[in-house]
């Protein structure tokens, strides 16, 4: 297939965004184009490739098999071009350019604040971040679509450089009127009659919950899968069940006493936030400064915000009652 000469970078950019959303309308909105313009560029790309890249199934747009495969190559091509741009930019100065960061959804409750702190120090740097579950971030890393990723568990399936960023406790939450809300140091088996609300397979939080069940030889009475941390929190508050979730997603609900932390033996589960990049990737000076900023600031920031609820390692690991904003 000799279609490379007829491709344009703009077509690849439009295709990658459209494949991410599987929506020409969403792609047009992000790219500041009209929907017909996006459709035309995708049509021209399909003609050049000689295969359909999108199809409609039950009125919904979806990638074809060819589209799935081509999206990996398109992302990698654009990633390589960005690397070249960053390399040229780094020859000029290290306080400008752009950085692409991938963030697991649990980190969206604190990472944007750190990014804002960094942007205040380096206003000329454009920081772009993508949000997804662990599997989605691994794909972005593999496709060279992001420079760095913030995630909970190092990816053994990829050759990466990984450094611990901050303590990342996983806690069991329940409605405030749960019978064990005020109990201390009880076994997980006491929750055998409860419904557990869990994230989708592939998420780090789901893996942590399933590992906890295995270690405690525990089988929940019922498991309900929900697609986001926000949905899980609202379902717990409504009394649908209990959940294992990142402490760092709970700041508002703990301050307002909308849910309870359960003092289950073996919790908090001690995990660690990691900052990850492909070992083969040459980080630009700008990206290296950003990475160092996160390594220096993330742990202290999270401890300031959350130590009142759960003590970090090295301090007494007791659950502290939630307090009002005025005294936090």
pLDDT number for residue 321: 34
pLDDT of residue 281: 87
For 304-318, the pLDDT digits (tens) are 888 888 866 655 443
Where do the structural domains in the chain lie, given as residue ranges? Answer: 1-77, 168-271
What pLDDT score was predicted for residue 320?
A: 34
Below-70 pLDDT ranges, the chain:
1-5, 87, 89-95, 311-328
218-243 per-residue burial string, b: 16 or more CB within 10 A, e: under 16? eebeeeeebeebeebbbbbeeeebbb
Taking CA atoms, 14 is separated from 24, 28, 38, 56, 145, in Å, by 9, 8, 7, 18, 14
In tens, the pLDDT along 185-196 reads: 999 999 999 999
> Which CATH number is correct for 1-77, 1.10.10.10, 3.30.310.50, 2.30.40.10, 2.102.10.10?
1.10.10.10
- Per-residue pLDDT at 82: 83
Give the angle subtended at the CA of 165 by the CAs of 312 and 152, to the nearest 5°: 85
What pTM value is reported for the model?
A: 0.66
The pLDDT of residue 134: 83
CATH fold for domain 168-271: D-Maltodextrin-Binding Protein; domain 2 (3.40.190)
Give the pLDDT confidence score for residue 60 in this predicted structure: 86
pLDDT at 328: 27
pLDDT at 325: 30
């Amino acid at each position: 297939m000799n279609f490379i000469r007829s491709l344009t970078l703009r077509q690849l950019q439009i295709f990658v965004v459209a494949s991410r959303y599987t929506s020409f309308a969403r792609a047009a909105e992000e790219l500041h184009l009209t929907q017909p313009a996006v459709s035309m560029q995708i049509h021209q790309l399909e003609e050049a490739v000689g295969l359909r890249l999108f199809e409609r199934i039950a009125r919904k747009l979806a990638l074809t098999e060819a589209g799935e495969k081509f999206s990996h190559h398109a992302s990698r091509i654009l990633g390589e071009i960005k690397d070249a741009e960053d390399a040229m930019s780094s020859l000029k100065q290290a306080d400008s350019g752009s950085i692409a960061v991938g963030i697991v959804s649990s980190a969206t409750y604190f990472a944007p604040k750190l990014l804002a702190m960094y942007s205040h120090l380096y206003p000329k740097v454009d920081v772009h971040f993508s949000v997804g579950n662990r599997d989605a971030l691994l794909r972005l890393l593999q496709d060279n679509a992001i420079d760095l990723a913030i995630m909970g568990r190092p990816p053994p399936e990829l050759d990466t450089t990984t450094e611990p960023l901050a303590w990342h406790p996983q806690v069991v939450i329940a409605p405030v009127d749960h019978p064990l809300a005020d109990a201390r140091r009880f076994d997980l088996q006491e929750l055998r009659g409860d419904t557990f609300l869990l994230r989708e397979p592939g998420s780090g939080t789901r893996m942590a919950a399933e590992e906890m069940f295995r270690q405690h030889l525990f089988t929940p009475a019922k498991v309900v899968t929900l697609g986001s941390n926000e949905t899980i929190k609202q379902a717990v508050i409504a009394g649908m069940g209990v959940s294992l979730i990142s402490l760092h997603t709970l700041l508002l609900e703990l301050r307002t006493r909308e849910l309870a932390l359960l003092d289950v033996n073996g919790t908090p589960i001690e995990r660690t936030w990691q900052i990850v990049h492909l070992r083969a990737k040459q980080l630009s000076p700008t990206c290296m400064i950003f990475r160092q900023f996160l390594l220096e600031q993330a742990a202290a920031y999270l401890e300031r915000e959350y130590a009142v609820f759960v003590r970090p390692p090295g301090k007494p690991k007791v659950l502290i009652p939630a307090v009002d904003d005025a005294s936090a």
